[in-house]
Amino acid sequence: MAFLKLDQENEKSPVTVWDRLSGTEREQVFAFCEEYKEFLDRGKTEREVVIAACKIALERGFIDIAGKGELVPGDRVFMVNRHKGMALAVIGHDPPERGIRLVGAHIDSPRLDLKPEPLYEDGYLGLFKTHYYGGIKKYHWVGVPLALHGVAVRQDGSKVQINVGESPGDPVFTVTDLLPHLSRDQMEKKMSEGIAGEALNLLVGGIPVEGGGAGRRIRQAVLNHLRDRFGIGEEDFISAEIEAVPAWAARDVGFDRGLLAAYGQDDRVCAYTALRALVGLDIPDRTAVVLLADKEEIGSAGNTGMQSAFLENFVAELIARRGGNHIDLRLRRCLSASSALSADVNAALDPNYEEVMDKLNAARIGRGVVLTRYTGTGGKKGSSEAGAEFVARVREIFNREGVFWQTGELGKVDQGGGGTIAYLLAAYNMDVVDCGVALLGMHSTFEVASKADIYMAYMAYGAFLRNA
Ligand code: MN
Ligand code: MN
């Protein structure tokens, strides 16, 4: 694609990525996004994304690193972390001490998790208690069809996959909202208090069993259904991970189909584009790695989150299989010499809410992949802020490789803010900068991205993995 550095000031340079794409390139963008939509529909939880990513990797010649002895340049391997995270690599020519090129994204998204003891009956209804996961606006989750996805593990270790609400004939679940006629008190509350966390209860049943005590007959009917359909009992919910997610599919938006909306694009848009970039690589000089992490939306803690040693362990496995003894110093040298993109979404300027943005430093829909030097809140707090030298290198790669890109800050100073896994990658002493797709309605149940920007993320990650 032709090179174009898009000017930041929209008014002075009203050019979008679309203006610079040929007819053939537009067709590539649309075709790519059809495959992306399938990926989104197959992967609505971190576990499902891992399965979908493994499928793509296996089709493109990747194998589980456990089945691999010595690694040579061109080998393609992956490692899965507890079904919820994974790392993939294409082995390069250079020795490990020269570092890896890494693109790290996360595959968890905000949702409603079932509580360990979810089931109760009230008002002649069967309900599931939920505990929301990640930063949600609770009003998005009422009055909409929800599907249940997840896994229940019985105490003998056997597993039951649960996926109800996605097939056309399936029932769905929903959280009811209060009717406007009786909402006088609710409407006077602050938005953050209008819907209580403990009111996010899923409707799961309405037909009682025959006989039995008052207030327990519908609850019993739900238990019977769970036993008959899934072979699980009430205690199995304690060892289950079941998530309520929007029951709809990814859709094109607008008459021209230039936009794509779906649940969970934060951060599966970066996960998918990074994965596609990696599987398309020829043998690189430096080893190229894509990391798909869990738990970013709740602070990256836990053994599947970015704070765990998983990435470090994966790189150690790569080094150990490249010949010579594996010594700690080789791992440290590798990590310190590495460069990374923290592949996560950013906020696009929304014409309905432009007052929260500094227009000069805001990302715009359709203006390319977004490079974000720092995130953080209240004076960049929590940000790993990329160094100028590294940002210059990345900029040079994007310009040379014809990647349409822009810069974007997450909102005005002191308006709020946020973070990504960048600071945890930086903690390995590697170079890292945030780079991803700009979204409208981030963390809503129907996040919107430009198809041109999605394709530019794919191009950017490929350019980085080949050149950084
Ligand atoms: Mn994110
Ligand atoms: Mn997020």
User: Is residue 129 domain-shared with residue 104, that is, in the same domain?
Assistant: no
pLDDT in tens, 119-178: 999 999 999 999 999 999 999 999 999 999 999 999 999 999 999 999 999 999 999 999
Task: State the Cα–Cα distance between residues 216 and 430, nearest whole angstrom.
Answer: 57
Give the residue from 433, 418, 453 showing the smallest Cα distance to 341.
433
**298 CA → ligand 2 middle, Å:** 9
Per-residue confidence band for 32, with pLDDT thresholds at 50, 70 and 90? very high
User: Is residue 381 domain-shared with residue 404, that is, in the same domain?
Assistant: yes
Structure-token match 């059809």, residue found: 34
Phi, psi of 12 (to 5 degrees): -80, -25
Cβ neighbours of 257 (radius 10 Å) = 12
- pLDDT number for residue 240: 98
More reliable by pLDDT, 4 or 462:
462
- pLDDT number for residue 327: 82
How confident is the prediction for the chain on average, in pLDDT?
Answer: 95
Question: How many domains are contained in the chain?
Answer: 2
**266 CA → ligand 2 middle, Å:** 5
**400 CA → ligand 2 middle, Å:** 30
Task: State the Cα–Cα distance between residues 10 and 42, nearest whole angstrom.
Answer: 36
Amino acid at position 449, single letter: A
Whether 252 is in a domain gets the answer no
- pLDDT number for residue 324: 75
pLDDT at 1 over 50: no
- pLDDT number for residue 2: 40
Task: State the Cα–Cα distance between residues 454 and 173, nearest whole angstrom.
Answer: 31
| Residues whose CB is less than 8 angstroms from the CB of residue 116 and which lie 6 or more positions away in sequence, other chains included | 237, 238
| Residues whose CB is less than 8 angstroms from the CB of residue 59 and which lie 6 or more positions away in sequence, other chains included | none
Whether 255 is in a domain gets the answer no
User: Is residue 326 domain-shared with residue 460, that is, in the same domain?
Assistant: yes
Is residue 353 within 8 A of residue 412, CB to CB? The reply is no
| Percent residues over pLDDT 70 in the chain | 97
- Give the alpha-carbon dihedral of 318, 319, 320, 326, to 10 degrees: -150
- Give the alpha-carbon dihedral of 68, 72, 78, 82, to 10 degrees: 50
Residue ranges making up the domain that contains 441: 8-109+263-467
What burial class does residue 355 get, using C-beta atoms within 10 Å of its C-beta: 0-12 exposed, 13-18 middle, 19+ buried?
exposed
Cβ neighbours of 229 (radius 10 Å) = 11
**109 CA → ligand 2 middle, Å:** 7
pLDDT in tens, 348-405: 999 999 999 999 999 999 999 999 999 999 999 999 999 999 999 999 999 999 999 9
Which tokens sit at 456? Answer: 């530019």
- pLDDT number for residue 12: 56
Task: State the Cα–Cα distance between residues 178 and 184, nearest whole angstrom.
Answer: 10
Whether 240 is in a domain gets the answer yes
| Boundary-marking domain end, from 198, 220, 246 | 246
Strands 431-436 and 339-342: parallel
Amino acid at position 69, single letter: G
User: Is residue 92 domain-shared with residue 128, that is, in the same domain?
Assistant: no
| Boundary-marking domain end, from 221, 246, 271 | 246
**199 CA → ligand 2 middle, Å:** 23
Task: State the Cα–Cα distance between residues 412 and 349, nearest whole angstrom.
Answer: 11
User: Is residue 63 domain-shared with residue 104, that is, in the same domain?
Assistant: yes
pLDDT in tens, 57-102: 999 999 999 999 999 999 999 999 999 999 999 999 999 999 999 9
Amino acid at position 381, single letter: K
Whether 119 is in a domain gets the answer yes
User: Is residue 271 domain-shared with residue 342, that is, in the same domain?
Assistant: yes
pLDDT at 341 over 80: yes
User: Is residue 94 domain-shared with residue 144, that is, in the same domain?
Assistant: no
- pLDDT number for residue 212: 85
pLDDT at 325 over 90: no
**265 CA → ligand 2 middle, Å:** 9
**266 CA → ligand 1 middle, Å:** 5
Whether 256 is in a domain gets the answer no
CATH number at residue 220: 2.30.250.10
Amino acid at position 168, single letter: P
**428 CA → ligand 2 middle, Å:** 22
Which tokens sit at 353? Answer: 């809410």
User: Is residue 311 domain-shared with residue 434, that is, in the same domain?
Assistant: yes
- Pick the range with the lowest mean pLDDT from 120-134, 181-195, 262-276, 321-335: 321-335
Which tokens sit at 91? Answer: 């082995």
User: Is residue 120 domain-shared with residue 105, that is, in the same domain?
Assistant: no
Is residue 206 within 8 A of residue 152, CB to CB? The reply is no
**400 CA → ligand 1 middle, Å:** 27
- Pick the range with the lowest mean pLDDT from 112-121, 252-261, 320-329: 320-329
Per-residue confidence band for 118, with pLDDT thresholds at 50, 70 and 90? very high
| Percent residues over pLDDT 90 in the chain | 94
CATH number at residue 325: 3.40.630.10
Query: Any idea which ligand is nearest the CA of 345?
Result: 1
**278 CA → ligand 1 middle, Å:** 20
User: Is residue 126 domain-shared with residue 171, that is, in the same domain?
Assistant: yes
User: Is residue 79 domain-shared with residue 143, that is, in the same domain?
Assistant: no
Mean pLDDT of the 441-462 span: 98
User: Is residue 173 domain-shared with residue 83, that is, in the same domain?
Assistant: no
| Boundary-marking domain end, from 246, 273, 304 | 246
Is residue 196 within 8 A of residue 139, CB to CB? The reply is no
pTM over 0.95: yes
- pLDDT number for residue 3: 39
Give the residue from 416, 417, 450, 415 showing the smallest Cα distance to 436.
450
